[in-house]
Amino acid sequence: MTKNAIYPGTFDPVTYGHLDIIERMSVLYDRVFVAVAHSTEKQALFSFEERVAMVKEAVTGFDNVEVEDFDGLVVNYAVSKSTNVVVRGLRMISDFEYEFQMALTNRKLNSKIETVFMMPKESYSYLSSKLIKEVARLGADISEFVPDYIGKKVKDKLQNG
């Protein structure tokens, strides 16, 4: 039986932390679907089309990873991809409360769906898209946190909108 998994998120923009989780998933699962959420409670810097394009570019090296946009419930998206596995990344204890609530809510919505948590490499465990945008806005070099072409896109977006 093949085993697929989805990795949902905002990816505004994709970082080396996200890519670390995607790499781990690509080893564990037959097919990995990175699911870029259309709408988000967070005010996104990039449109979902731009976020999808950036993740696509970042995962060209993985032949079992696909990138799509999605709208609506994560549990329904998982079913549409023939999987019951939703992967989320856990960085710090601070992620835990929100992730715990979301995993249990998703289980209530569909009891067959399991949320699997993965830890990134230690050196990425403090990385967040939000902080990267904040420091980039203040002129910091973000090349340690995101691939070069993503860094260029962030700079361009912050300068030209």
Structure tokens belonging to residue 60: 């060209």
Which residues in the 113-142 window bind ligand ADP by CB under 6 A? 120, 124, 127-129
In the complex with ligand ADP, the residue whose CB is nearer, 18 or 133, is 18
**CB within 8 Å of 62: residues ≥ 6 apart:** 22, 23, 26, 32
Residue 11 touching ligand ADP (CB under 6 A): yes
Sequence length of the chain is 161
Least distance between ligand ADP and beta carbon 112 (Å): 20
Active site residues per annotation = 18, 42, 91, 129
Residue 95 touching ligand ADP (CB under 6 A): yes
Q: Which stretch binds ligand ADP (CB under 6 A): 8-16, 24-32, 78-86, 151-159?
A: 8-16
Bridge-based pairing of strands 65-70 and 31-37 is parallel
Residue 13 touching ligand ADP (CB under 6 A): no
Q: Residues 29, 121: contact at Cβ < 8 Å?
A: no
Q: Is the peptide bond before 13 cis (omega within 30 degrees of 0)?
A: yes
Q: Which residues bind ligand ADP (CB under 6 A)?
A: 9-11, 15, 17-18, 21, 40, 88-89, 91, 95, 120, 124, 127-129
